Amino acid sequence: MRNNRLKNINTLYLLGAGASYALTLPPRGSASLKTTPLDFDFNKRIKNHKSNKNWVKESIEYHIKNWVGSESLIDLGLEEAILKRAGNYDLLNAVHKVKLNRNRYSDAKCENQDYINNLSHLITEVLHGCKQNTQSLATTFANSLFKLRTRKVNGKRKRVCPTNRVITFNYDTILDREILHLGHLNEYSMYFDRIGNNLTTAENALTRRPATEPFPYLIKLHGSTNWRVTETDYKSIVSGASNSRTRVPIWFDWKKTPSVTQAISPLIVPPLPNKPITTSSIFAHLWQCAFEYLHESRRLVIVGYSCPQTDSFAMSLLSNVRDSKLKEIIVVDPEIYSLSKYKKLLVGATTNTVKWIYYDNFYEYIQANS
């Protein structure tokens, strides 16, 4: 299984929020509500989000009301806010419940897993309305990733597996939708083979494993807005209580976002102190694949990912790459200092023969490499 997953990896793409932002940004460069928010802007987008769904307004109020911290929630980036809320709540709940119960924090029963579950619904709701820009950059990029190729075997044409892979830290499905629309992959080979198209098929997938494409092409390390689990399983995963030997049913839903009043949750997991990859079987699998891909790929393209200090597992993932086969590394980021940052992080995986290339925007990279 491992050899099948790793053979013939040519280009590995590492995508951050800046990649989705670029794919959805209008050509004139002014962000709209269809543009995916960057981390620093996410809480503002949530607060100002307009919807005719009753649960959305109530969830936004819940998100703001149950923030635990001295700083303004709206002024913090999403990942920093989640980490601070988790840390502040755990500390006060352990040593100063009186302060936690004061009017400033209106619901002392709102534990971290409840808060994150509510937030996962809001993140999904915000991202559900985001679309690729009118230049169709996502379509162009997706088409260059997994082009269908065939070769003759005993006089017959046989499909050749794509040689590219993608690792993304993004929750959105901007790229996913275009990959499926082009018909290059299906959900099972794109994500993982134990995902279903509803709860029933997800349960069946736990014991019946289709092996036609035994490796994920698109690794979503923090989950995806179209992945679904039961609310009970979700809270178990984000709290770190999930048993790594127990496979929970996971299915996809492209059409609608679940309400917090349902017993269904989007499977998106932000950076947390107790990272679910140590307890959840699916995330342990995905992070292992990402680690192996980084060792085996010959070309690495990093787009719009700043590798923040808040995501310590991502920092470790990159800094621990050794004996890599990398021959070329491309960094796409508006800030040129990111180039020197990755040279330091990947020092163990590179030699003097590795070629480094820099682009300051994703559009130029796509135009030059599609």
Same domain, 283 and 336: yes
If we measure between CA atoms, which residue out of 330, 340, 290, 292 comes closest to residue 313? 290
**Which residues, at least 6 apart from 118, have a Cβ–Cβ distance to it below 8 Å?**
59, 62, 63, 260
Same domain, 295 and 360: yes
Same domain, 16 and 51: no
pLDDT of residue 313: 82
Q: How many domains does the chain have?
A: 2
pLDDT of residue 103: 41
What pTM did the predictor assign? 0.91
pLDDT truncated to tens, each residue of the chain (370 aa)? 455 555 678 999 999 999 999 999 998 878 999 999 999 999 999 999 999 999 999 999 999 999 988 889 999 999 999 989 988 888 887 776 656 655 454 544 688 999 999 999 999 999 999 999 999 999 999 999 987 666 666 777 666 778 899 999 999 999 999 999 988 788 988 998 889 999 998 888 766 555 555 578 999 999 999 999 999 999 999 988 777 677 889 999 999 999 999 999 999 998 776 667 777 888 988 999 999 999 889 999 999 998 877 777 888 888 888 877 889 999 999 999 999 999 988 888 888 889 999 999 999 999 998 7
**Inter-residue contact 224 to 176 (CB < 8 Å):** yes
pLDDT of residue 262: 92
Same domain, 150 and 188: yes
**289 within a domain of the structure (yes/no):** yes
Same domain, 187 and 304: yes
Picking from 79, 109, 128, the residue at the C-terminal end of a domain is 128
**230 within a domain of the structure (yes/no):** no
**260 within a domain of the structure (yes/no):** no
Picking from 80, 105, 128, the residue at the C-terminal end of a domain is 128
pLDDT of residue 41: 94
d(CA 361, CA 327) in angstroms, rounded, equals 22
Q: How many CA atoms lie within 13 A of 32 on its CB side?
A: 14
**248 within a domain of the structure (yes/no):** no
Same domain, 188 and 58: no
**322 within a domain of the structure (yes/no):** yes
Same domain, 145 and 110: no
What is the residue range of 47's domain? 39-128
Query: What is the DSSP secondary-structure string of 286-310?
Result: HHHHHHHHHHH-SEEEEES----TT
Same domain, 78 and 143: no
Same domain, 67 and 187: no
**241 within a domain of the structure (yes/no):** no
Picking from 128, 156, 182, the residue at the C-terminal end of a domain is 128
pLDDT of residue 233: 94
**138 within a domain of the structure (yes/no):** yes
If we measure between CA atoms, which residue out of 222, 49, 23 comes closest to residue 138? 23
Same domain, 147 and 292: yes
CB atoms within 10 A of CB 65: 12
d(CA 166, CA 170) in angstroms, rounded, equals 11
* The residue to which tokens 């997991």 are assigned: 269
**SS3 sequence, 5-22?**
HHCCCCEEEEECHHHHHH
Same domain, 115 and 44: yes
- Give 52's DSSP letter: S
**Inter-residue contact 183 to 159 (CB < 8 Å):** no
Same domain, 17 and 49: no
If DSSP codes are grouped into helix, strand and coil, which group holds residue 77? coil
pLDDT of residue 7: 61
**SS3 sequence, 148-217?**
CEEEEECCEEEEECCCCEEEECCCCCHHHHHHHHCCCCCHHHHCCCCEECCHHHHHHCCCCCCCCCCCCC
**156 within a domain of the structure (yes/no):** yes
User: What CATH code is carried by the domain that includes residue 280?
Assistant: 3.40.50.1220
Question: For the chain, first and last CA: distance in Å?
Answer: 31
d(CA 287, CA 222) in angstroms, rounded, equals 10
